[in-house]
Amino acid sequence: MVKRQFPNPVELFELMKFKKPDFNGKRRRLQSALTIHDLRTIAKRRTPTAAFDYTDGSAEGELSLARARQAFDDIEFHPSILRDVSNVDTSTTIFGGPSAMPFGIAPTGFTRLMQTEGEIAGAGAAGAAGIPFTLSTLGTTSIEDVKAANPNGRNWFQLYVMRQREISYGLVERAAAAGFDTLMFTVDTPVAGARLRDKRNGFSIPPQLSLGTIANAIPRPWWWWDFITTPKLEFASLSSTGGTVGELLDSAMDPSINFDDLKTIREMWPGKLVIKGVQNVEDSTRLADLGVDGIILSNHGGRQLDRAPIPFHLLPEVVREVGKDTEIAVDTGIMDGAHIVASIAMGAKFTLIGRAYLYGLMAGGRAGVDRTIQILSDQVVRTMKLLEVQSLDELTPKHVTQLQRLIPRS
């Protein structure tokens, strides 16, 4: 029989610690987010449907994105044992410079549409965390303002070679003058992918008001207040080039770009030149032979060709072919620090996050981006410690098995 007694109040209070209430709603909201998926849930609640779906959606049936995320979930880790992992080193060198973590912020267009702090929040958070930030040609903050927001950190510029070549050349010159150290030439957008969520939502820049958008805005007054009380939403680096938003978008997608354009950009750009949107081994080999500084395996976050190759699955073969001569990075589908660790183990030198960063931005502006970086960084460190590796260099394919669902038919 268990002996029972009246509880001693002193002992009871020792066992029960009451949490102090936090009256800062944003801080409370962000601290409750333990994963990127949690940030996504908050972002969806706080952002009008058209803006959220522009970020969250991808092309056509959205199979490319779903498969990329599934590929990262379909991995098996193989940890070692009895190694001292009191401290792990997450730092790396990528494209000629340092990064405190093996991930950086990918280029995203229309970023201030998601939340008004936009690229300023992303660049500032990246600089504070010691990781690179990439500004898109279709960004809503200028090259010079991003540099001001991240004066001592690493800034990269993503380039679309536009039909009016002089516009693109001008952006290259401005990025170089502002001290951006890496140019990310995107090559997977001869035309825009069919993003059906946007069409169904009547998405446009600036947003078109309808009874539906007004009804959707009623429970999200903070977003609309930010939208109407902050500077005009526009493609900041292109604002002086003239033309409507639609004309600029149409000009940005040029089906005529080719390897001659790559040669021209290489001759213009003084820093590291990286090619983004590579999706097969043959192109990787040709680019390596041409001496590019890096290759980013990417299917544009699933936003261009649906049913495109899964970058994470393509990674091992490309690394075997050209990894000794060219630095390989990977994006699309990364939602967890474990995905980042698995990519490094399979041979990637670096990874890029797009939606994960934007979910944090929509959830809480700059503080939300800080939270994204913190969540992923904590997960990277924890995964490394549980694998019992002390540095990124110790990660090898022996630590990961890629489990296969989609097996080609012979």
> Parallel, antiparallel, or unpaired: how do β-strands 97-99 and 92-94 relate?
antiparallel
Q: In whole angstroms, what is the distance from residue 59 CA to residue 278 CA?
A: 18
Do residues 91 and 99 make contact, with C-beta atoms less than 8 angstroms apart?
Answer: yes
**Cα dihedral 226→231→234→236 (10° resolution):** -120
Cite the beta strand spans of 91-203 per DSSP E: 92-94, 97-99, 103-105, 133-135, 155-159, 182-186
Q: In whole angstroms, what is the distance from residue 175 CA to residue 148 CA?
A: 13
Is 78 labeled as catalytic in the residue annotation?
no
Helix residue ranges per DSSP H, 334-408:
337-345, 355-387
At 60, list the tokens.
Answer: 């056509």
Query: How far, in Å, are 41, 46, 58 from residue 196 at the CA level?
Result: 21, 22, 8
Task: Say whether the peptide bond before residue 311 is cis (omega within 30 degrees of 0).
Answer: no
Check 300, 313, 339, 399 and give the catalytic one. Answer: 300
> Parallel, antiparallel, or unpaired: how do β-strands 182-186 and 155-159 relate?
parallel
Neighbours of 81 (CB within 10 A): 5
- DSSP-derived letter for residue 331 is -
Q: In whole angstroms, what is the distance from residue 116 CA to residue 51 CA?
A: 12
Q: In whole angstroms, what is the distance from residue 344 CA to residue 179 CA?
A: 28
Q: In whole angstroms, what is the distance from residue 282 CA to residue 29 CA?
A: 46
Q: In whole angstroms, what is the distance from residue 32 CA to residue 30 CA?
A: 5
Sign of the CA dihedral 366, 159, 236, 62?
Answer: negative
Q: In whole angstroms, what is the distance from residue 383 CA to residue 344 CA?
A: 12
Amino acid at 7: P
Q: Which of 359, 396, 356 is CA-nearest to residue 376?
A: 356
Active site residues: 300
